[in-house]
Amino acid sequence: MEHEELTRKIDAYLEENWETMVEDIETLVRIPSFEESDKATEGAPFGPGPKEALEAALEMASDMGFKTHDAEGYIGFADFPGKSDTQLGIIGHMDVVPAGPGWNFEPYAVTRKEGYLVGRGTLDDKGPSVVALHAMKFWKDLQDAGEAPQFPYTVRFLFGANEESGMADVAYYHKHYDDPAFLFTPDAEFPVCYGEKGGYDGELISKPIADRIVLEFTGGAATNAVPGLAHAIVNADAHELKSTDRIVVTEAGPGRARLEATGKGAHASLPDDGINAIGLIVDYLLEHDLCTADERAFFELDQKLLNHTDGSGIGIKSSDEYFGPLTVIGGTIALKDDRFVQTVDSRFPTSITADEITERLRQLASEIGGSFENTLLMEPFLVKPDSPVIQALLNAYNEATGEDAKPFTMGGGTY
C-alpha cells in the first residue's frame, strides 16, 4: 500500500471513529482507578478501581476482536497475531493518581473544552492508550478486509494497573511472561522520549516529640506531587495570628489555632510550576515561633528541602548533559507516633547516585536525632538519541507530521 493511500485511510478511520474513541476514553476516565492497597483482594491486588479499569480496557479490546487475558489483576494484555510470534509491545496504564483538589471540572468524566478533552486520565494515560489501541484495530480492519498484508510480528498491548504507585504490574509480568522484542509506551509527549531521570522516594522522619506546639500537621495527596493543600493545628491564640494571602488562620478550640494553606499543585517532575502548601505552613511556623526546640530543628531541615527544588538546600544539587538538573520536593507530611514524617520525591540525573542522595539525607536527619529511609528507587533510563530504535520512532513522527521535531528526556517516570 502506498504511503499516500495509507494516510488517506488513517484520516478516514479517525473521521469515522472519533466519537467512538472519545466514548472509549470516557468509559475508562469515569472509573476512579487509583490504588487503594487497604482494599486489595485476590484478583484485585491494587484495589477495586484499578481492577475495574483493567477489566473495562480488556473488554474494549475484546470487542475489537483481540484475544485478551487478565493476569490476576496485576496486568492484562490483548494480542494481535502476526506472521511470527516475535512480539512488538505497547504498554499503557489504566491507573491514575487521586484527583486531589483544584478541579474546575468533574475529574472522573470527559469534558470537551476548546478542542481539548478534560478529565483525570485523558492525558495520563487512558486517552493515549485508547488511541494506540485503535491504531491496532485500524490495521486489523485493513487485514480483515484484505487491504493490507498480515503484520510481520505479533503486537501485544499490555494494560498496566500500577504505574503510578510502584509498577508492581510490570514486576509481575517479568516474573510470569517473556518480554517483547521491542516495546514503547504512549505515556509521554511526541515525538519520542529517549530517557527518564532516576526516580527516588524517601521518608524524612523526626525523632519522637511528645511535647509539641504543633498538634496536627497534614498535607499533600501523593508523594510524587507538589501539595496544593496543607493544614496544621497549633497550641496558640488564633486572634494573635494573622492570615496571609495563602494561609487562613481560624480558631480550632480554646487556645488552639488552625492554619489552612493553599498552594498550587504540580507534578514532582516540574516542581517550579507549583507552590508547596507544606512549605507555606513550615515557613509560617518558623516565622511565628510556633514550635519547640525539637520541632524547630525538624522544620528548619524540612524548610531546606521544601524551599529549594533543585536540591541545593540539602546538598544534592546536580546536573548532566542528557537530563539537566535534579529536582526534589516534599509531597506529603503527617504525624505518626509523635514523629513528623515528610515524604521526599527526587528525579535525579546520571551525575549523582541514589546512594549519594541517601547518605546525605541520612546525615542531615541524624544531626537532629531523626532518620531517613529510601522507599522507592528507579535508576535513570537512557537510550542514546542516535540509536536505531529512537531514530525509527522519531522518523515515523516527522514523516507523518512534516515536522523536524527532536527527541527529548523527561523527569517523569513511566514504564
Q: Convert the chain into a string of H (helix), E (strand) and C (coil).
A: CCHHHHHHHHHHHHHHHHHHHHHHHHHHHCCCCCCCHHHCECCECCCHHHHHHHHHHHHHHHHCCCEEEEECCCEEEEEECCCCCCEEEEEEECCCCCCCCCCCCCCCCCEEECCEEECCCCCCCHHHHHHHHHHHHHHHHHHHCCCCCCCCCEEEEEEECCCCCCCHHHHHHHHHCCCCCEEECCCCCCCCEEEECEEEEEEEECCCCCCCCEEEEEECCCCCEECCEEEEEEECCHHHCCCCCCEEEEECCCCEEEEEEECECEECCCHHHCECHHHHHHHHHHHCCCCCHHHHHHHHHHHHHHCCCCCHHHCCCCEECCCEECEEEEEEEEEECCEEEEEEEEEECCCCCHHHHHHHHHHHHHHCCCEEEEEEEECCEECCCCCHHHHHHHHHHHHHHCCCCCCEEECCCCC
pLDDT at 76: 98
Give me the average pLDDT of each 10-residue run along the chain (415 residues). Answer: 87 96 98 97 98 98 98 98 97 94 93 97 97 97 94 97 93 97 94 96 98 97 94 98 98 97 95 97 98 98 98 98 96 98 97 98 98 95 93 94 95 86
- Residue pLDDT, tens place only, 64-113: 999 999 999 999 999 999 999 999 999 999 999 999 878 999 999 999 99
The residue among 30, 100, 114, 44 whose CA lies nearest residue 73 is 44
Q: Could you tell me the CA-to-CA distances from 366 to 203, 207, 340, 371, 373 in Å, in that order? A: 13, 9, 14, 6, 12
Predicted confidence at residue 105, as pLDDT, reads 95
Tell me how far apart the alpha carbons of residues 370 and 313 are, in angstroms, rounded to a whole number.
18
pLDDT of res. 165 = 85
Q: Put residue 289 in one of left, alpha, beta given phi > 0 → left and psi -120 to 50 → alpha.
A: left
Beta bridge partners, 195, equal 382, 409
Task: Report d(CA 233, CA 251) in Å as an integer.
Answer: 9
78 forms beta bridges with 68, 157
Alpha-carbon gap, residue 223 to 360, rounded angstroms: 20
As a whole number of angstroms, the distance between CA 311 and CA 299 comes to 16
According to the model, what pLDDT value does residue 4 have?
Answer: 86
Q: Find residue 214's DSSP bridge partners.
A: 234
Phi, psi at residue 294, to the nearest 5°?
Answer: -70, -40
Q: Residues 198, 354: contact at Cβ < 8 Å?
A: yes
Rg (CA), the chain: 24
